[in-house]
Chains A and B, each alone.
Chain A
């Protein structure tokens, strides 16, 4: 990864940034909470929405634009940004 790419990654403040490991997930750049339930958590990252689907999902911690989730994470989806692009994963 080049320095340019790394800088772009670090300073992409309104883009979703996720770290998933086993039954734990960390979502950065959380600007707004759209929906929280046991099977689905949707957050607004500024330019995009991130949806995490799974079972027994619990928000363990929510602080300073960072959210720590635990539970059976099954899939992650990224929704349309404010300009109209669609991305899914």
Chain B
């Protein structure tokens, strides 16, 4: 069977002008030429579509009896031929692809996450020194960059660098700084790390310096490393010594008060649906946005609900969401104290988690409500028992550390 191609491949729409149209069409049928969309416009003019292969045969068939005009060409082969004819377009496209490729080989943005004590600037400076900066080539040894960061910045326990498109994502994890313990051979005091009321001091080495119940401030000596001695070696050089310096050790506990204050709404806002509703669509296409429900909304108070149906970024940034606007009647109801207490306790628990050390023991908690016009202030007094002792080297003159 002959391969005459398909209409999808390459077809031609032509206009044929001349007499005896039916005779020409009969000749086409006999020659096996496939015709589509035959449209007889008048006695001497007709149009139809045929494949490119058949078109060449058709031209031989009609010779010079009819005037044949090509109206258009369709099919992927025709499109390719049309594109290939435009040299400047091809050159432009190649340049565009090359530019795109060239542009994608550079870092356009650096995003740093995970830093806490180290500043972002310090991390950026260090990355720059390692060769990673906005505008640098992506062809970079990331292991060398990581190594440089480890060497340059203190207290980094982990660093990760990865590329997402043209963006470099740098994640760092900082270590926890533990206070350096004083060398066992050096004399030291145990001092208060926080202010509060001294509750209990257990001295394993050294002498307890303050009594229970004393209000202490950070830095106050709790267990002193200076121990007074009474020499019994009378008449020797040692008899002149009245004190001995030791490495004080022990545990010091203090009651630390915390005062927290929260505000609570006095009334609960109740939204009672009236039964009137508006449905619509929210469409976002790039920067173009429309919300049909919002355009029709004339309610004084309403609840807006939305369900995203389609959300794409590539190949086109499109968002399609179904919207429901429900009219509501607003009313308020006074909240009960038990309800507020429950809410405040939840807030207190989350604050304790954030602010109070894990090993602290909560001794007392009291809530005090003070009513305002529309608001209720809740003052919370918390009393915790915490270990507050910190070793501090005894220095005479300048520090030896």
Q: Tell me the A residues contacting B by CB distance below 8 Å.
A: 30-38, 58-65
Q: Are A62 and B40 in contact (CB under 8 A)?
A: no
Q: Is the CB of A63 within 8 A of B35?
A: yes
Contact A32 B26 (CB under 8 A): yes
Nearest neighbor of A70 in chain B, beta-carbon distance: B37
B40 to chain A, nearest CB (A): 5
B36 within 8 A of A: yes
CA–CA, A4 and B46, complex, Å: 43
Q: Mark B14-42, 1 if CB is under 8 A from A, else 0.
A: 00000001110110110011111111100
Complex interface: chain B residues within 8 A of A62 (CB):
25, 28-29, 34-36, 38
B→A interface (CB under 8 Å):
21-23, 25-26, 28-29, 32-40, 48
Name the residue on B nearest A34 (C-beta). B22
A58's partner among B25, B34, B38 (CB-CB below 8 A) is B38
User: Which single member of A36, A60, A65 contacts B21 (CB below 8 Å)?
Assistant: A36
Q: Chain B residues with Cβ under 8 A from A38's Cβ?
A: 40
Answer whether A64 and B32 are a contact pair too, CB < 8 Å, given A36-B40, A58-B39, A59-B38.
Answer: yes
**Top-8 shortest CB links A-B:** A59-B38, A63-B34, A33-B22, A62-B35, A32-B26, A33-B25, A33-B26, A36-B40
Among candidates B26, B32, B33, B35, residue contacting A59 with C-beta atoms closer than 8 Å:
B35
List residues of chain A with CB within 8 A of the CB of B40: 36-38
> Could you list 7 further interchain pairs (A-B, Cβ under 8 angstroms) beyond the known A61-B35, A62-B35, A62-B36?
A33-B23, A36-B40, A37-B40, A38-B40, A58-B37, A64-B29, A64-B34
Shortest Cβ distance from residue B148 to the other chain A in the assembled complex, whole angstroms: 72
B282 to chain A, nearest CB (A): 41
Q: What are 28 contact pairs spanning A and B, CB under 8 A?
A: A30-B29, A31-B29, A33-B22, A33-B23, A33-B29, A34-B22, A35-B22, A36-B21, A36-B22, A36-B40, A37-B40, A38-B40, A58-B38, A59-B35, A59-B37, A59-B48, A60-B37, A61-B35, A62-B28, A62-B34, A62-B35, A62-B38, A63-B29, A63-B33, A63-B34, A64-B29, A64-B34, A65-B29
Chain B residues whose CB sits within 8 angstroms of the CB of A30 once the complex forms:
29
Give the docked Cα–Cα distance between A32 and B20 (Å): 12
Establish whether residues B36 and A61, one from each chain, have CB atoms under 8 Å apart when the complex forms: yes
- CA A32 to CA B33, docked complex, whole Å: 14
What's the nearest-Cβ distance from chain A to residue B13, in Å? 14
A36 to B21, CA, bound (A): 9
Q: How far does the Cβ of A42 sit from chain B's closest Cβ, in whole Å?
A: 9
Complex: A57 Cα to B40 Cα, angstroms: 10
Q: From residue B247, how far is it (CB to closest CB) to chain A in Å?
A: 104
Say how far B2's CB is from chain A's closest CB, in angstroms. Answer: 12
Q: Which residues of chain A have C-beta atoms less than 8 A from B39's C-beta?
A: 58
CB pair A60 B36 closer than 8 Å:
yes
Q: Whose C-beta in chain B lies nearest to the C-beta of A67?
A: B29
Instruction: Give chain A nearest CB distance to B64 CB in angstroms.
Output: 22
CB distance from B291 to the nearest CB of A (A): 42
In the bound complex, residues from chain A placing their C-beta under 8 Å from that of B37 are 58-60
| A32 CB contacts on chain B under 8 angstroms | 22, 26, 29
In the bound complex, CA of A30 to CA of B26 (Å): 9
Distance in angstroms from A35 CB to nearest chain B CB is 6
Q: How far is the CA of A60 from the CA of B39 in the complex (A)?
A: 9
**Which A residues are in CB contact (< 8 Å) with B29?**
30-33, 62-65
Given contacts A30-B29, A33-B29, A36-B40, contact A61 B34 (CB under 8 A): yes
Residues on the B chain within 8 Å of A36, using CB: 21-22, 25, 38, 40
Contacts of B38 in A (CB 8 A): 36, 58-60, 62
Chain B residues, CB < 8 A from A61: 34-36
Rounded to whole Å, the gap between the CB of B30 and the closest CB of chain A is: 8
B contact residues around A35 at 8 Å (CB): 22
Contacts of B33 in A (CB 8 A): 63
Across-interface contacts of B25 in A (CB, < 8 A): 33, 36, 62
Q: How far is the CA of A38 from the CA of B32 in the complex (A)?
A: 24
A25 to B26, CA, bound (A): 19
CB distance from B160 to the nearest CB of A (A): 64
